[in-house]
Amino acid sequence: EYKIRMGNRIVTPVFMHCNDRDHTIAFGVGPQKRRLNHIMLEVDNLDDVGLTHDLIRKHHVPVTITPGKHSNDHMYSFYFRNPSGWMFEYGFGGRPATYQSEYYIEDVYGHQPESGGFGDSD
């Protein structure tokens, strides 16, 4: 069970997967009517994450969560918002799901919310 602190409240998203990733899609965080929070896109090269982050910034696509490394799957990623209002997580290097109960307090580093991070309104 993963908990996210959002201001003075704590929310518990629902994660689902269709492969050996820790999760592919997340629901339940943010003001969106459909409650879709983000879909994970994994690439096979760390440079792709950096180049994509540069392109996203260059074209003024809203980055919602800065680059960082998750403690649960060790994925290096960042999040950006699409026109529908939910996010893509774009990352590299995540380990497969462990299929056991593990609890993590925070990310290893980074992943600071920016404009509308975790699906909050701006």
Q: 52, 72, 61, 67: which is closest to 113 by C-alpha?
A: 67
- What CA–CA distances, in Å, run from 73 to 34, 47, 61, 88? 26, 19, 26, 17
Q: What tens digit of pLDDT does each residue of 67-114 get?
A: 999 887 888 999 999 888 889 999 999 888 765 555 556 677 777 777
Domains and CATH numbers, the chain: 4-119 (3.10.180.10)
Alpha carbons 115 and 92: distance in angstroms, whole number: 23
Q: What are the respective helix, strand and coil percentages of the chain, to the nearest 5?
A: 15, 35, 50
- Amino acid at site 101: S
Please list the residues that pair with 28 across neighbouring strands: none
Q: 118, 98, 108, 49: which is closest to 78 by C-alpha?
A: 49
Question: Residue 122 in contact with residue 30, Cβ under 8 Å?
Answer: no
Q: What tens digit of pLDDT does each residue of 25-74 get?
A: 888 766 656 678 889 999 999 999 999 999 999 999 999 999 999 887 88
